[in-house]
Amino acid sequence: MKKILVLSTSPRKGSNSDMLADEFILGAREAGHDVEKIFLREKDIRFCRGCLACQKTQSCVIHDDAAAIVRSMQQAEVLVFATPIYYYGMCGQMKTLLDRANPLFPAEYAFRDVYLLAAAADENESAVDGAVTGLSGWISCFDKSRLRGVVRGVGATLPGDIRQNPAALEAARQMGRQA
């Protein structure tokens, strides 16, 4: 049994990326894993100031909800990021969290496998490439970790459109089973 943290980064309730996250969670729970889900839209997460104090103290000088999320990230064995694709990249909420996770860089962390679940209005799978590149850049700072899988839920504009892409939903569920 692994400890899995799913981070739903969409600002929209009932989003397509969140539906992908729910499928991943179903698969992970079917496999017997312990899963926690955090909705960033419900959290107060401010922008990184770039002061780098966290590199010495392993904690951030900003007191908001990011500190608790980063602790959860540190303790999870598997991280799952679910994001809508905005302008061919991850949403701003996800990028802000990645920046605020800087205290993890000098710390011991449990996560080894990282997954990306992305929903894009564009019908081309390449629409997700920018988010993959951005997340891969973050992962490259953590030598023990790797990008284990990506679901490209394309052609999903309005809430619920991802249901028209059963292959993406099944891929997310299957990744959860194999996490």
Distance of CA 76 to the CA centre of its chain: 12
- Give me the residue label for tokens 């729970």: 29
| pLDDT per residue as tens digits for the range 85-133 | 999 999 999 999 999 999 999 999 999 999 999 999 999 999 999 999 9
Domains in the chain, ordered, with CATH?
3-178 (3.40.50.360)
Angle (CA) 18 9 97, round 5°: 160
Q: What is the DSSP string of 84-113?
A: EEETTEE-HHHHHHHHHTGGGTTS-----E
- The pTM (predicted TM-score) of the whole model is 0.97
| pLDDT per residue as tens digits for the range 26-56 | 999 999 999 999 999 999 999 999 999 999 9
Which amino acid makes up residue 92? G
Which 3 state secondary structure label does DSSP give 124?
A: coil
